[in-house]
Amino acid sequence: MKVSVTPWRGVEVEVTVDSSKCQGHARCHALAPEAFDLDDDGYPVVTPNAATLAAADLNDAAAACPEQAITILP
Ligand code: F3S
């Protein structure tokens, strides 16, 4: 799924979780629950609240995914 968040430190970014890679480790949710909610099956749902996070926090959550399922692109 993809969610565009605007503004994000003045820059629109697109946060994407690749469902074909995600294995439900939920590290993204543990580090940034404001941005990554979990659905009933334990898989992440990117929320518009990602816009409230500092860039470093969002990047840290993406980097913590062992499947490299999260991308953050301008
Ligand atoms: Fe999935 Fe990675 Fe989060 S495997 S649940 S996107 S930490």
Question: What total number of domains does the chain contain?
Answer: 1
Q: What are the tens digits of pLDDT across the range 2-59?
A: 565 554 556 677 888 999 999 999 999 999 999 999 999 999 999 888 877 877 888 8
Q: How far is 11 from 26, CA to CA, in rounded Å?
A: 26
Nearest ligand 1 atom to the CA of 68 is 2
CATH number where 23 lies: 3.30.70.20
The pTM (predicted TM-score) of the whole model is: 0.86
User: Which ranges in the chain belong to alpha helices (H)?
Assistant: 27-31, 55-63
Q: Given a cut of 60, is residue 1 above it in pLDDT?
A: no
Domain, as residue range, for 24: 2-73
One-letter amino acid of 74: P
Residue 69 alpha carbon to ligand 1 centre in Å: 6
Which of 32, 39, 24 is CA-nearest to residue 63? 32
